[in-house]
Structure 1
Amino acid sequence: MNIPLNRHSPTPIYLQIRNYLSRLIQSGKMLSGQKLPSIRVLSTSIQVNKLTVIEAYSLLEADGLIHARQGSGYFVNPKTTVTSGLTLRSNFSPSQEVIISQGGGSFFEQYTTSIQARRQQNIIEFSSGFPSTSISDNLQRVAKRALAKAGDTLFREDFPQGQLLLRQLIAQMLIQQGLEVSSEEIIITSGSQQALSLAMQYYLRKDDWVIVETPTYHGALGILKNLQAKVIGIPMTAEGINLELLEQYLKSHRPKLIYTISTLHNPTGITTSLAHRQALITLARQYECFILEDNAYEGLKFQPVPPPIKALDRYDLVTYISTFSKTLMPGLRIGYMVVTGEHHQPLVKQKLLNDLHVSTVSQVIVSEFLASGHYRRHLNRLRISNLQSRNVMLQALESYFPDAIAWTIPKGGLFLWTHLPNHLPIQTICSEALSHNVLIASGAAFFLGQGYPAMRLNFCHTPEDIEHGIKIIGRLIKNYLTPSFISVGLSSQEVSVSSMR
């Protein structure tokens, strides 16, 4: 294969190779299942180092365009097409109501209910925020190799900010996502939940104002309630948090912190644009407010996304959080936070007071996945599987849900968000669904107070389970959906602001 390379270009050679092959694949000039030149053959033909080809192929894997077969080489992935007739335009358009409260309190109940349901084989568990629990023999082999290589280091105490190798590997991964960061600016945590708790404890005190998106991750609402912070819930639009209302409350209440999920938002699945991210950080700087960016699902994107808000941060306003719990193995409990400037050392000290350091066993396992390239390959398989499952669920929603129901079209992640007509008895529907062995996450958990009826649906299931579960939920909804419900459903788009100040 002859790849035209400009050896004087500022674009690295490996990126030129990746970009050229990407164009061939996406244009259809390289067909599904076609084998790529071997690393040795391509490096010889275009006169580059083998490591350069490996890096290019690794990026194509991360893009979901190719996959490796052990002992056989690299092959073009099949194109995942949407089922014929499937609408890929979201009709999500909720009313724009600001809610002010002290935080939420149902995270414990939802989490424990979900864990109990996952212990039962006959339950279709749509409520979870975690991926499928299946693990391949390949993942087990990588974990065993990591433990063997670590030796007696597993039995030693470690630094509170985490092992240097793991932090270096995470920094390399983040650079590919557009976030330039050093290993010295990364703190390893026990999942992203601990990172959230540490950051919120650091930035907030009792009765401080904090802004969150409405709806938002219920685990964060639980932390804010424990901190006795005053929480302002700014509504989500189809493009992200309502920036007009955000500025209004930044100006009137001068909050200390904005908590946002910019990529694959939990629970709506929305990913904001680069322009939206730039506007958000501009407002934060103007009103001297910190940002906590929680992108736990970013690794599960189906297509490229803008760099994190942290990549736009020049004033140390943004703390970035992510995790391997959603992409690798939840039980490893490895998360991390990117903290720059004067905030880094105080948060390292706070981390030490919480649990000394994260499990050395978990850290060496994740390091081995990253260093060996298995993590990228695992992510690619996961993305392809999740995309197929998402499309199956979207088709099932169109087939079995009434027209009055709206839903988001997530570009990755694990779940989508369904918006139901007002006054629909969502808790009753959830109870009845459970009697049919279908567990739903009621949207009420993701609101500060009284939000609109909604459900978060995890689509990481077999096509058969998705079809069966959605059919049951659709039938239950139709039982309660009378013409009066339809008339008060989803049409309101006027901005209404709570009078609580």
Structure 2
Amino acid sequence: MLNNKMSKVREYILDEIKKGRIKKGQRLPSCRELSRKLSINKITINKAYKQLESQYRVYSIPRGGFYLVETEEAPSSKAGLVDFKSVVPDEKLIPYREFTHAINRAVDTYKNNLFGYERADGLQSLRATLKGEFEGDGIYTSADGIIITHGAQQAIALVLQSVFLNTKGKLLVEAPTYNLVLAMASKLGIEIVGIERSIAGYDFMEMERVFKLGEVKAFYTIPRHHNPTGYLLSEVDKRKVAELANKYNVLVIEDDYLADLGSRKKALPIHYYDINNRTAYIRSFSKTFMPGIRLGAAILPDYLHKKVLALKHISDLNTSSIPQAALDIFIKSGMYKKHVNRVRKSYEDKLKKAAEIFKALCPEGLYYHIPDYGIFIWLQLPKDIKDIALQKKLADMGIKVSNGSEFFSGGWLEKNKTQNDYIRLCISGVDYDNLDSLATIIKAMNIN
């Protein structure tokens, strides 16, 4: 009888998940609420929830209820859809089970201060842990020099607001660059200037000419695992950026969102070459870890650190303590490093397969860049193929891609428009077997 009632609870919850009424990270109905709805006593419902927890479908927070970890795909999802557009981790690689245990350990370990207000710059223990982790990447700072944010996007937004608030000046960005930063700058009313980012790097004569005008206050750059191209900036070029920024008093906003997926060869950030404290270094844990755990870190020049911290305190008081504590435990236990190595290997294998497909099928007139590490593939289309038209054609075939136009500022495109359009492909969330769809993308161009 008890088992039948527990099965009824389980079936009800799983049905709610399938229908999309309970989503990933969302709190399940309380035992009291479900008891009234199903006419089953609270003890039985709690046992059913515990059973789901033992199967790693949900996780619990003491005195905080049960939350969904892994969700079924909603029926409304398009069957057979291959998504090369979304920048999300491979769901098969997300460490739900391990992180659930880390959350439970975090609540137990830090129970005396987790449910109060934490400092605006983040949990002290996590900042101390990250200090040690960052040193291995050539980033030297104190624990107090690190600000924990709600992902890299919040860090970038806070820096832009702090630099351009109530003052004139321009933001130099790469062409192409991260589309959400373009949207962010536009929303903040910041004037954008572009400089071409090619596989060879920058035209430093052009960069110096722009800096010399004295109008650019900050330069936003993604040195490695560049979004959208996947390009990697050389160590010589990173040093040159730091030198020019210092010479012309320009703040470098270095977005190192995929630092953990770096190549096995030593690659240092611009921050390492900056001896004059003119770099705002930003890191993310969302793209390699769990997208729902919105955590990032910023290391800023002293004058900017205080401004950003004040703005952050006004906007959100602090970053949620529980995921911070869980990430701290996850890193200290060695599980994070193990997870990152697994993710890196998976993405390397995907890129190798993609390279084999393009090498075998790539027609004349199609330029492509597939890096050894990272998550992006950049296609320069033949002159007669338009990005938006190809994007729509592929969507009708069940394949989602990003058109290249959205990664360029409007002003830059008007002045520098070439005869070629571009497409960005992201392999991170695509199943290995579904990479065969790359052949379909090539054939869709009707140039084979």
Same fold (TM over 0.5): yes
Question: Partners in 2 of 1:340 and 1:121 — Cα distance?
Answer: 48
* Equivalent of 2:290 in 329, 338, 361: 329
Question: Partners in 1 of 2:125 and 2:371 — Cα distance?
Answer: 33
* Equivalent of 1:354 in 308, 312, 315: 315
Question: Partners in 2 of 1:459 and 1:158 — Cα distance?
Answer: 37
From the superposition, tell whether residues 471 and 190 of structure 1 become closer, same or farther in structure 2 (CA, over 3 Å).
same
Q: CA deviation at 1:471?
A: 1.7
Question: Partners in 1 of 2:133 and 2:74 — Cα distance?
Answer: 34
Q: Does 1:149 align with 2:109?
A: yes
- CA distances 1:42-76 after superposition (whole Å, capped 9, x unpaired): xxxxxxxxxxxxxxxxxxxxxxxxxxxxxxxxxxx
From the superposition, tell whether residues 241 and 411 of structure 1 become closer, same or farther in structure 2 (CA, over 3 Å).
farther
- CA distances 1:311-358 after superposition (whole Å, capped 9, x unpaired): 122222100001100111110100110013222112111110111111
Question: Partners in 1 of 2:308 and 2:76 — Cα distance?
Answer: 34
Q: Secondary structure at the match of 2:111?
A: helix
Q: Does 1:453 align with 2:421?
A: yes
Q: Does 1:196 align with 2:156?
A: yes
Question: Partners in 2 of 1:117 and 1:325 — Cα distance?
Answer: 26
RMSD: 2.1
Question: Partners in 1 of 2:254 and 2:224 — Cα distance?
Answer: 9
The aligned residue for residue 165 of structure 1 is 125
The aligned residue for residue 88 of structure 2 is 130
Q: TM-score, normalised on structure 2? A: 0.77
The aligned residue for residue 100 of structure 2 is 140
- The one-letter amino acid of 1:128's match is S
Q: Does 1:471 align with 2:429?
A: no
The aligned residue for residue 57 of structure 1 is none
- The one-letter amino acid of 1:415's match is F
Q: Does 1:316 align with 2:277?
A: yes
From the superposition, tell whether residues 418 and 116 of structure 1 become closer, same or farther in structure 2 (CA, over 3 Å).
farther
Q: CA deviation at 1:463?
A: 2.8
Question: Partners in 1 of 2:308 and 2:75 — Cα distance?
Answer: 35
- The one-letter amino acid of 1:314's match is I
- The one-letter amino acid of 1:323's match is S
8 A contact 2:351–2:372 mirrored in 1 = no
1:44-443 equivalence runs, <5 A? 120=78, 122-134=80-92, 135-136=94-95, 137-205=97-165, 207-443=168-404
- The one-letter amino acid of 1:476's match is A
Q: Secondary structure at the match of 1:337?
A: strand
Question: Partners in 1 of 2:257 and 2:145 — Cα distance?
Answer: 18
8 A contact 1:130–1:414 mirrored in 2 = no
Question: Partners in 2 of 1:354 and 1:341 — Cα distance?
Answer: 20
Q: CA deviation at 1:192?
A: 0.3
Q: CA deviation at 1:284?
A: 0.8
Q: CA deviation at 1:272?
A: 1.1
Q: Does 1:462 align with 2:423?
A: no
From the superposition, tell whether residues 477 and 168 of structure 1 become closer, same or farther in structure 2 (CA, over 3 Å).
same
8 A contact 2:177–2:408 mirrored in 1 = yes
Q: CA deviation at 1:307?
A: 1.5
From the superposition, tell whether residues 133 and 121 of structure 1 become closer, same or farther in structure 2 (CA, over 3 Å).
farther
Aligned length: 365
Question: Partners in 2 of 1:419 and 1:336 — Cα distance?
Answer: 33
The aligned residue for residue 112 of structure 1 is none
| Identity within the alignment, % | 26
8 A contact 1:195–1:335 mirrored in 2 = yes
- Unaligned stretches of 5+ residues in structure 1: 1-114, 482-501
From the superposition, tell whether residues 376 and 120 of structure 1 become closer, same or farther in structure 2 (CA, over 3 Å).
farther
Q: CA deviation at 1:304?
A: 2.5
Q: Secondary structure at the match of 1:375?
A: helix
From the superposition, tell whether residues 263 and 356 of structure 1 become closer, same or farther in structure 2 (CA, over 3 Å).
same
8 A contact 1:297–1:413 mirrored in 2 = yes
Question: Partners in 1 of 2:299 and 2:207 — Cα distance?
Answer: 24
Question: Partners in 2 of 1:396 and 1:169 — Cα distance?
Answer: 41
